[in-house]
């Protein structure tokens, strides 16, 4: 027996707001209410046809003296009456489902739409824009400071490298002085410096008393002794 495509004859009239409400119901339930009703209707019709097919085969097998065409015609007539009664009853059920069970009240709000409840005034939007400008300026300042710090780190790295080279040179000088028998380099330099200063003062005095031969001779003798001690 060929099955006929069936659909509900009930319709829910509505304007654009009703269509939008239906779309919102799809988001809430995960399916369209109309498709659910049509699916239930088609399942019931399929079961009806399957039942009548089974009844037809049973009647044909038990009443072999009755022509098969008469049995088939009888089952077709029964199916038509069943379909008429079923469609009438299901239209009422579908209308109830769409109007009550699958109709979302206006106060129902999906979690992802709760943000729409917070609407900003022009003053609040202006304040947000101002705060964003301040944050952007802070970001630019931070980038500038980071760039300066990076440059300073590079400069410090160069200075550190020069200091390390200087320390190596000082270590070489100390090693050379140690090999020459000068163990206290700092004290030796201070000592020699004081002696040189004394010699400079003495030479200055000699030049100042150039006319006094006796005094000059004494200073030259003293200077020669000091030079001998330094060397």
Q: In sequence order, which residues have a C-beta less than 8 Å from that of residue 75 and are 6 or more positions away?
A: 1, 52, 55, 56, 59
pLDDT of 12: 34
Query: Which two tokens mark 51?
Result: 């039942």
pLDDT of 192: 65
pLDDT of 131: 93
Angle at 139 between CA 136 and CA 143, to 5 degrees: 140
Give the model confidence (pLDDT) of 1-48 as tens digits. 333 333 333 333 334 466 767 777 788 888 888 888 899 899 988 988
User: What distance in Å separates the CA atoms of residue 154 and residue 158, rounded to the nearest whole number?
Assistant: 6
pLDDT of 144: 92
pLDDT of 140: 94
Query: Which two tokens mark 9?
Result: 């004859």
> What's this model's pTM, rounded to 2 decimal places?
0.40
Cα-based torsion angle of the residue sequence 50, 56, 60, 62 in order, rounded to the nearest 10 degrees: 90
Least confident of 43-47, 158-162, 188-192: 188-192
pLDDT of 134: 93
User: What distance in Å separates the CA atoms of residue 116 and residue 109, rounded to the nearest whole number?
Assistant: 10
Burial of 79 (0-12, 13-18, 19+ CB in 10 A): buried
Residue 114: pLDDT above 70?
A: no
């Amino acid at each position: 027996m060929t099955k006929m495509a069936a659909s509900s004859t009930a319709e829910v009239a509505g304007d654009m707001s009703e269509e939008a409400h239906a779309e919102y119901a799809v988001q809430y339930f995960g399916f369209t209410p109309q498709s659910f009703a049509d699916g239930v209707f088609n399942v019931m019709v399929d079961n009806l046809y399957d039942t009548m097919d089974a009844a037809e085969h049973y009647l044909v097998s038990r009443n072999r003296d009755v022509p098969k065409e008469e049995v088939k015609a009888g089952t077709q007539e029964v199916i038509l009456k069943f379909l008429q009664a079923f469609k009438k009853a299901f239209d009422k059920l579908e209308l109830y489902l769409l109007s009550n069970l699958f109709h979302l009240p206006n106060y129902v709000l999906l979690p992802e739409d709760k943000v729409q409840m917070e609407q900003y005034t022009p003053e609040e939007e202006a304040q947000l824009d101002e705060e964003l400008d301040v944050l952007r300026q802070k970001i630019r300042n931070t980038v500038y400071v980071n760039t300066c710090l990076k440059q300073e780190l590079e400069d410090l790295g160069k200075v550190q490298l020069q200091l390390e080279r200087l320390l190596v040179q000082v270590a070489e000088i100390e090693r050379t002085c140690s090999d020459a028998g000068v163990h206290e380099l700092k004290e030796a330099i201070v000592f020699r410096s004081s002696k040189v200063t004394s010699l400079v003062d003495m030479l200055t005095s000699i030049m100042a008393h150039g006319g006094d031969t006796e005094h000059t001779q004494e200073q030259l003798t003293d200077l020669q002794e000091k030079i001998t001690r330094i060397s």
